[in-house]
Amino acid sequence: MRRLVSRTFIAAALLAGISSAIAQTPLSGLPMATPESVGMSSERLQRIDDFTQRYIDDELVAGTVTLVARQGRVVHFSAQGMKDVERNQPMTTDTIFRMASMTKPIASVALMMLYEEGWFQLDDPISDWLPEFSNMMIEIENADGTTRLEPAQNPITFTHILTHTAGLMNSYRGDIQRYSEVAAVRGEENLASWTERLATLPLRYEPGTRWEYSQATSVVGRLVEVISGQDLDTFFRERIFEPLQMRDTHFYLPRDKVNRFASLYGPDASNENRIRLTEVGDERSNYVAEPRNFFSGSGGLVSTAHDYIRFQQMMLNGGELDGVRLLGSKTVELIFANHTGDLPLWLSGPGMGFGLGYSVVLDRAVAHTSDSEGSVSWGGAFGTLFWIDPEEELVAIILTQVRPYSHIKIREGFHNVVNQAIID
């Protein structure tokens, strides 16, 4: 009888411990709260679902997951539409998405964790660690359309590589043909060989003089590897994902999670931009775990709303979540500061600056945003978006899978329908 009582007590204690752990990290990633308890309106938050449902009904996106947290508590968490239309699979709150460039803030934070350990200063040349970036040349266009090479006057620094001001050749607004010479073949090489090939291309402009979106954050990832002595996948997993209980964030998706992976859609020009299924076979296989060596800091991760809110809530908290501290609060302040001065950011637009991996609202009137000044954000190429509003203690995320998405305003409108629900 004593043994039975003892076993029952132990089992109850274990269950209590498990329940406690589950309570700490519910499917929403953070504790839940009534909206009114944190100064938001339940009625007004309903407008988020109404807003995203219009896009689903108009067949502009297949489905969405939206999540809003204020003061560290989730007040809205919703899955709508379909994860896979053809297979008749509804969207669920644990659906896994391609995060694309929403990988960049995580890679940038990883490098800043090493900054805190004293391995480098932000104005140090990255060639101290990546000698392939020594003695860079700049490609300059002549009046007749020909080009010439001239030595760069300034080295690429850690700040440059974290803020997209390094001058790297890119596939966004640079020489697409030249960049294609070094474009990585996903899974067929490692970050070291790709970075070495990237460094063979001339720069597009003098480092620090312009802002141009580029693959710079993959170089950030390579710096993490060289300084830490770990590949980026291992560093992310051991230093960030496991401590923060980000259990579904991967560079390559384990096969037992493929059934939770959202299908990718794109606009059908012949049908008023309504969605059509795109590249489910080959494209999906790019994200499935096999022996892989290339880990893109610019855009390689897949993740869930649960995991991503935990990472960004940690940042809003000044580097700490649930007793786990990844950064000091002064470092987070440094990351969220504007490091690009008055350089124009063609991608974010007027009124915006750029921190170390995050865009920053400098003037909300000029930026035409309801986010507070000092809010930071970024999005991904498949329609995902997040922002942190420190003044309002708010984090918001919208996840969908559509590319291109420039013909719709779902990301812009999401800001409106979230912020209008703040009533205190």
DSSP 8-state symbol, 255: G
Low-confidence ranges of the chain (pLDDT < 50): 1-24, 279-281
Q: Are residues 290 and 203 in the same domain?
A: no
Q: Are residues 319 and 186 in the same domain?
A: no
CATH number at 318 reads 3.40.710.10
Q: Could you give phi then psi for residue 77, rounded to 5 degrees?
A: -150, 110
DSSP 8-state symbol, 236: I
Structural contact between residues 138 and 168, judged by C-beta atoms closer than 8 angstroms: no
Q: Are residues 379 and 251 in the same domain?
A: yes
Q: Are residues 139 and 215 in the same domain?
A: yes
Domain boundary among 228, 248, 279: 228
Tell me, yes or no, if the pTM score tops 0.95: no
User: Beta-carbon neighbour count of residue 256 at 10 Å?
Assistant: 8
What is the predicted pLDDT for the residue at 173? 56
Percent of the chain residues topping a pLDDT of 90:
77
Q: Are residues 342 and 255 in the same domain?
A: yes
pLDDT in tens, 331-355: 999 999 999 999 999 989 999 999 9
Q: Are residues 306 and 336 in the same domain?
A: yes
Question: What is the DSSP pairing of strand 376-379 with strand 385-389?
Answer: antiparallel
Sign of CA dihedral 54, 57, 60, 62: positive
Full domain range(s) for residue 131: 110-228
What is the predicted pLDDT for the residue at 156? 98
How many residues are recorded in the chain? 424
